[in-house]
Chains A and B, each alone.
Chain A
């Protein structure tokens, strides 16, 4: 710390702690010590306080010991001449600042419940979202885990102009970083500047406006703390591991834009505790020696054109920016962009015109690598707000290519087009939907570029499994329809093949240790009939990933001797997980919730739990924030099963897995399912009904309760009895 910075940090921390004490006292006088407080929908209380100090703040009164701790660790001001050492004390002041800010923000949630939208996006009259709830944490967490989001930038203040703000934001997006925004400068804020420049902000575009005050910066620290607790399996209160976890694994940094106040400095010291460096655009003192952060701590006076590149370098982050030769931005951060009515130049599919996407393998001499053809009208031949039929067909060839890889490549089309700034894509196969914005049309984007980007991006990620790739785009209705007919035949063939695959007939399963960047002791093993619990990887994906990168995170696991066919335990798998979990887990069962179920990293799509009274199980998906009959919300459940633990009575799984034949078959399978959130039921209804029919109970779907029936076991049991749910007649699940 430089003396100037340390002095400012300590002054700022005193101000913020003082403010927290004042706000807290006012709230105590008004509401009393027993008034519940907290951030919305989270199982982590006030997460920095919980993660670092291990204190659960549930009521106003619980804040008192935290404020006392703040006072205790707040150092005296730095003396001008012959000062005592200040680095350690200033870092402590930074932590006290974060604790105090969580208290300030929690009191605000109490005093002004509508201050924040509490949604994923701003509303028409409110820019600020407030703290990320656990649904967002888990949904976005998987991106941190698998590397699609390498970290985040906490932006404070505002850029000198909205154009500069847009440039910085776009550059951060292109590097797939999240942007957490708080505080203002010069009467505006970074978030406000982006909105004025018509940039879509909110979680879907990774440009997250947390709050207008500096205290909202603590939401970024809260997000980081929860990553350590939920994915890293760090125990609350184990502050050292929480902080080192973030230093090593969460590649975040702070970008203060504009005059750095004492309060900003205090927050910066808090960030440095997490190993997050500060890169400023103003000429504040620098702290170049390393130690708390991986490299420099504070770097300053960086021109806006270089600030993102500098920040990434200072944080020690290697970002791979796909060099995609198209006249617009490209990156995961653009995936959540929406293109509203009136904004699009061209629309295809979406029920308005026929549309299809189809990848097929060819002989080597039939494919000319890099060739892109648009057969029919190009976008430039049309007036704005036109609609076109569209067939995106991709032909690949290669010595290593297998037919099984076609659907894997085909599935990439959706997100690759969506990664394109100014393009919106939804669906797949013959239910696709594409919008191309006027803005990106003006930049020169044409349909032709879809071919260019697919060629470049697929080569980059999947180059090992094919040698050549060409793209043909059809925009004439009869041609498109012809392609749809051909593709449908292929789809049917593929589906039959996948559906026909069984665990029994497969000798090799695949591991997935993608999450070990975040959950070091967790290991998934994926079989054809038990897809990955995060919903992102099935057996075929893993196989292909292994072919692409034989030393990567997906490794073949020889099934070996079948130790228990009913519960699904295999000798080869046990040996593998013992090694891969670094000795923490020596066995688990694939098909059971009651007997040594599979472990979870914390990024599962759903968590199932036993309901003893109903003699069945329930499952809940992460988007459902309400209560469930097992007495826990999703986020609490995920906390229970997360962090690489095997917890009987609970198991994490993917949505797709629910209707797979082996789903908890060791405990009775889908017939045990007594409760699901309505939205999840709807989402998988067709496959659910098919599977239930196969099990001999065609109307099982209607006998499963949801939140409209009740959210306690007592509340749903009579419904189950009335519907004669088959679970009630099965042997006791607790046996």
Chain B
């Protein structure tokens, strides 16, 4: 695979910047991926370095599986399973620690100890209070929020019972989790337990190891990530449709360009406010700029795009390229998916790289630590740094023209509203049109970029193939940005790319055929949307009955593995591209790709060709349609009085 001669990107702006980087003598991830081939043994999950006797390379060679053992005696199966669930642990930890950070800020804000933060979505606060049995009565939002924050925070360290959001899932799914023994007790506990079980000489049965992986992943999707999404919505507002723009063309030649990069919107929300501060704007003008232009990379960008329409400069593999434009005055980063190469590249230009999280420091970067008690001052210092750096720009500036409009801001709640208005809000039109076949099914296409495949190409090929076949696509993360750059997130894309049935529904609702649901913790929104589809009726009584599928065609991070695992555990067929980390063991791979279906109703699949992968998803959707009995056109039912009498009262 590593030898595969691949085109670097399908995005012209990125290709242009790669050329400029070469001219400027700058090395990027694209170059490094070309220079360094993938370690085949590590890629197959066959390298165990969990103790000092190794590392052991244990390949499950066909016919010689028995002989292949690590020094401790671990089989290829055990090693592949251990490595796999350690990836789950890494991903779940990243999402959940993000969730914990949000919960801590939420609690501080509720207690009045985080100036600048307030409750923006009161309705969602009260709904969560009802759901969690928090007394509302005559209490103030602050008082209620303190209770909510404390409960949320306790979810991470809970030792027994079940995490609370499991009760949001369809009843049948909850029963299944209990039956299989994978209902997480606490968010952190299951991650810790993975680390323990995968230590030398502990759990050495791959079935049992993989089960723990499922348990920790559920603790991510229905735990840490969901807490992050819910509390961010309450604190910063639930997204509603808004117009946005994407690609490097959003950078402005004559304005201070401050790029926000990372995953936590905690600080960036304040930066958005500060950048509009007249004092800051006039400072920028004093420095010769026309204004302050915010834009973003990765999921922090998705968060502020969804809530404020702040434009996206690009996805994961464009972080270095943004600097190559020479027009970025400062890039402020928080956590996750930040390349260590940024300060090096910044040296070739004038850009300041500012780290803000005590958890994520990079040598060569300026560190302005985020302090929730004093967020405003921190944000001002960051914006000021960018402004003051504006006059230092060199002449070597080239901003690509490419930028694309997009309609974003689709949360579970707004979809409900958009499908029926204030008075008839429901998922009914979605379910109805799935049942009548205008929409064949729904696919979640998510995940990262990976320079081992053509940047953006697998995302966009898959998404186009799906919508052409009347599959509504919902997206998050860097995958969403790839589709957006191609214009797939405009309502006009429906007529251009989607099948006739899907296009007619898009035209009816006024939505793009590809919906942006937010950042990668917002994959929890997809779980909520799937559950809402089940609850609205007519499509079975569990997520595994729905004609839906998931994919991460250009995945690279451990977070993607955790996300994929909680989708599978929630009953969704999930296909990954690029590479697959258990190929060193046929047994483990077969278990994930086949046996899981009997237990969880969802399975993993691996297919690097995005078109073929799309058709795997479509066949799975068709299989579910058949099981539901909606694979054939239905006769129109005409109602007489007798049938009306038999209706239950509403």
Give the contact-size bracket for chain B: 35 or more
User: Which residues of chain A have C-beta atoms less than 8 A from B648's C-beta?
Assistant: 520
Query: Is A291's beta carbon under 8 Å from chain B?
Result: yes
* A291 engages B420 (CB within 8 Å): yes
What's the Cα separation between A316 and B640 when bound, in Å? Answer: 9
* A318 engages B638 (CB within 8 Å): yes
* A289 engages B420 (CB within 8 Å): no
Known: A82-B490, A289-B508. A95 touches B637 (CB 8 A): no
Known: A6-B510, A290-B436, A316-B636. A243 touches B424 (CB 8 A): yes
Q: Which of A94, A245, A289 contacts B429 (CB 8 A)?
A: A289
Q: Mark A75-113, 1 if CB is under 8 A from B, else 0.
A: 000110111111111111011000000000000000000
Q: Which of A1, A146, A295 contacts B508 (CB 8 A)?
A: A1
* A513 engages B423 (CB within 8 Å): no
Min CB distance, B422 to chain A, in Å?
5
In residues 369-423 of chain B, which contact A (Cβ within 8 Å)? 405-407, 417-423
Q: Mark A303-328, 1 if CB is under 8 A from B, else 0.
A: 00000000001001110100000000
What's the Cα separation between A146 and B640 when bound, in Å? Answer: 11
Known: A85-B241, A248-B647, A553-B645. A289 touches B421 (CB 8 A): no
In residues 230-265 of chain A, which contact B (Cβ within 8 Å)? 232, 239-241, 243-245, 248-249, 251
In residues 333-364 of chain A, which contact B (Cβ within 8 Å)? none
Residue contacts A-B, CB under 8 angstroms, 27 given: A3-B507, A52-B423, A84-B510, A85-B491, A85-B510, A86-B509, A87-B429, A87-B509, A88-B420, A88-B422, A91-B422, A92-B421, A94-B421, A150-B641, A240-B424, A245-B650, A251-B639, A273-B423, A273-B424, A289-B436, A289-B505, A290-B436, A291-B428, A291-B430, A292-B424, A318-B640, A513-B645
What's the Cα separation between A89 and B637 when bound, in Å? Answer: 29
* A82 engages B243 (CB within 8 Å): yes
User: Which residues of chain B have C-beta atoms less than 8 A from A521's C-beta?
Assistant: 649
User: Which residues of chain B have C-beta atoms less than 8 A from A52's C-beta?
Assistant: 423
Name A295's closest neighbour in chain B (CB-CB): B636
What's the Cα separation between A146 and B643 when bound, in Å? Answer: 13
What's the Cα separation between A517 and B650 when bound, in Å? Answer: 12
What's the Cα separation between A290 and B636 when bound, in Å? Answer: 12
Residues of A bordering B, CB below 8 Å: 1-3, 6, 52, 73, 78-79, 81-92, 94-95, 146-147, 150, 232, 239-241, 243-245, 248-249, 251, 273, 287-292, 295, 297, 313, 316-318, 320, 513-514, 516-517, 520-521, 552-553, 582
Query: Is B432's beta carbon under 8 Å from chain A?
Result: yes
Query: Is B4's beta carbon under 8 Å from chain A?
Result: no
User: Which residues of chain A have C-beta atoms less than 8 A from B637's C-beta?
Assistant: 316
Known: A52-B423, A289-B429. A318 touches B639 (CB 8 A): yes
User: Which residues of chain B have C-beta atoms less than 8 A from A273's C-beta?
Assistant: 421, 423-424
Number of A-B contacts (CB under 8 A): 150
* A289 engages B644 (CB within 8 Å): no
Name A145's closest neighbour in chain B (CB-CB): B641
What's the Cα separation between A6 and B509 when bound, in Å? Answer: 9
Name B416's closest neighbour in chain A (CB-CB): A88
In residues 43-97 of chain B, which contact A (Cβ within 8 Å)? none
In residues 215-251 of chain B, which contact A (Cβ within 8 Å)? 241-243
What's the Cα separation between A698 and B640 when bound, in Å? Answer: 49
What's the Cα separation between A552 and B645 when bound, in Å? Answer: 10
Known: A240-B423, A291-B433. A313 touches B638 (CB 8 A): yes
Known: A291-B430, A516-B645. A89 touches B421 (CB 8 A): yes
Query: Is B438's beta carbon under 8 Å from chain A?
Result: yes
Known A85-B509, A86-B510, A88-B425; further 15 A-B contacts with Cβ < 8 A: A52-B423, A83-B510, A88-B422, A90-B421, A95-B421, A244-B650, A289-B504, A289-B508, A290-B429, A290-B433, A291-B428, A316-B637, A513-B645, A517-B647, A520-B649
* B421 engages A249 (CB within 8 Å): no
User: Which residues of chain B have C-beta atoms less than 8 A from A295's C-beta?
Assistant: 636
Min CB distance, B150 to chain A, in Å?
34
What's the Cα separation between A78 and B511 when bound, in Å? Answer: 12
Query: Is B492's beta carbon under 8 Å from chain A?
Result: yes
What's the Cα separation between A244 and B648 when bound, in Å? Answer: 12
What's the Cα separation between A52 and B425 when bound, in Å? Answer: 14
What's the Cα separation between A316 and B436 when bound, in Å? Answer: 15
User: Which residues of chain B have C-beta atoms less than 8 A from A90's C-beta?
Assistant: 421
Min CB distance, A582 to chain B, in Å?
8
In residues 317-339 of chain B, which contact A (Cβ within 8 Å)? none
> Which residue, of B406, B638, B650, has the highest number of chain A Cβ atoms within 10 A?
B650
> Which residue, of B243, B421, B429, B509, has the highest number of chain A Cβ atoms within 10 A?
B421
Name A275's closest neighbour in chain B (CB-CB): B424
Min CB distance, B494 to chain A, in Å?
11
Name B429's closest neighbour in chain A (CB-CB): A291
Name A89's closest neighbour in chain B (CB-CB): B421
* A88 engages B429 (CB within 8 Å): no
* B423 engages A239 (CB within 8 Å): yes
* A289 engages B424 (CB within 8 Å): no
* B432 engages A1 (CB within 8 Å): no
Known: A3-B507, A316-B637, A520-B649. A291 touches B419 (CB 8 A): yes
Q: Which of B505, B507, B647 contacts A249 (CB 8 A)?
A: B647
What's the Cα separation between A2 and B506 when bound, in Å? Answer: 9
Q: Mark B507-529, 1 if CB is under 8 A from A, else 0.
A: 11111000000000000000000
What's the Cα separation between A290 and B505 when bound, in Å? Answer: 9
What's the Cα separation between A87 and B428 when bound, in Å? Answer: 13
Name B408's closest neighbour in chain A (CB-CB): A84
User: Which residues of chain B have C-beta atoms less than 8 A from A82's C-beta?
Assistant: 243, 405-407, 490-492
What's the Cα separation between A499 and B628 when bound, in Å? Answer: 58
* B507 engages A2 (CB within 8 Å): yes
Min CB distance, A617 to chain B, in Å?
31
User: Which residues of chain B have C-beta atoms less than 8 A from A288's C-beta?
Assistant: 504, 508
Known: A88-B422, A91-B424, A273-B423. A313 touches B647 (CB 8 A): no
Name B644's closest neighbour in chain A (CB-CB): A517
Name B405's closest neighbour in chain A (CB-CB): A82
User: Which residues of chain B have C-beta atoms less than 8 A from A240's C-beta?
Assistant: 423-424, 650
